[in-house]
Amino acid sequence: DQQVKQNSPSLSVQEGRISILNCDYTNSMFDYFLWYKKYPAEGPTFLISISSIKDKNEDGRFTVFLNKSAKHLSLHIVPSQPGDSAVYFCAASVTGTYKYIFGTGTRLKVLA
Amino acid sequence: GAGVSQSPSNKVTEKGKDVELRCDPISGHTALYWYRQSLGQGLEFLIYFQGNSAPDKSGLPSDRFSAERTGGSVSTLTIQRTQQEDSAVYLCASSTGGSLGYEQYFGPGTRLTVT
């Protein structure tokens, strides 16, 4: 049972445009969400997080939106840059626990 | 190097052999995690250490898998009698605490291939 789903395995976007990566979850107990970026042959690196008390968190070009009623979060990258080309994972957890549940990832390709 | 390191970076082994994977977390990080990423899959949680204790080993796929951590630092993941389905990238991460809100820092992973 996949509790965190990233239904788009890949996405291509033109440089300078907006990239929107989506993530859906099924466990209504999840209340903390993170996005990680992964380059080939490297471990994932933390990008941005959001708590369920918020519906938006912004950090530079990266914004994460959370829609609790739809159990959906999205990562917006604007403007997209070629260096953003990577695999993006969303992850979810429950306050007070230590376990993060990861999605299967979306491969983003930003075209120059 | 201040990051999480893992060794070896690549390991090819024959089915039935035992393998040992090593993780050196960031100094001072009390929490350590092992994950597995199989082809086309997300990161699968295996085990979590707080200090030298593993409060939850339920993510380990079978009793062929075991892990230990010594001195609150280095951790080893051992897979006995490897099977082809064990082929994956094994990732280690560490963080300053085991509770929510602590960013996990990942190592580059060990790619295990069982032939």
Taking residues A65-73, report their average pLDDT.
Answer: 97
| pLDDT of residue A1 exceeding 60 | yes
The pLDDT assigned to B103 comes to 79
Taking residues A91-108, report their average pLDDT.
Answer: 88
- Does A48 lie at the interface with B, CB-CB under 8 angstroms? no
Look over chain A and give the mean of its residue pLDDT values, rounded to a whole number.
Answer: 94
Facing residue for B100 by CB, picked from A2, A46, A93: A93
Please name every residue paired with A36 in a beta bridge, in sequence order, or none if there are none.
A46, A89
More confidently predicted of B102 and B76: B76
The pLDDT assigned to B16 comes to 97
Taking residues B84-96, report their average pLDDT.
Answer: 94
Exposed/middle/buried for residue A59 (C-beta within 10 Å: 0-12, 13-18, 19+): exposed
CA distance A40 to B56: 29
Cβ separation B103–A49 shorter than 8 A:
yes
User: Which chain A residue lies closest to B10 (C-alpha atoms)?
Assistant: A41
| pLDDT of residue B98 exceeding 60 | no
Cβ separation B100–A43 shorter than 8 A:
no
- Does B1 lie at the interface with A, CB-CB under 8 angstroms? no
The pLDDT assigned to B39 comes to 83
Partner A, chain B 74-103, Cβ-Cβ below 8 Å: 91, 93, 98-101, 103
Cβ separation A104–B41 shorter than 8 A:
yes
The DSSP letter of residue B77 is E
Which residues of B fall within a CB distance of 8 Å from A41? Answer: 108-109
Give A66's pLDDT tier (boundaries 50, 70, 90): very high
The pLDDT assigned to B104 comes to 87
The DSSP letter of residue B85 is G
- Map tokens 């250490």 to a residue: B49
Give B97's pLDDT tier (boundaries 50, 70, 90): low
- Which pair of structure tokens corresponds to residue B40? 């086309």
Which among B103, B92, B110 is positioned nearest to B46, based on CA atoms? B92
More confidently predicted of B21 and B98: B21
Mutate to test the interface with A, among B33, B102, B104, B105 (most CBs of A within 10 A): B104
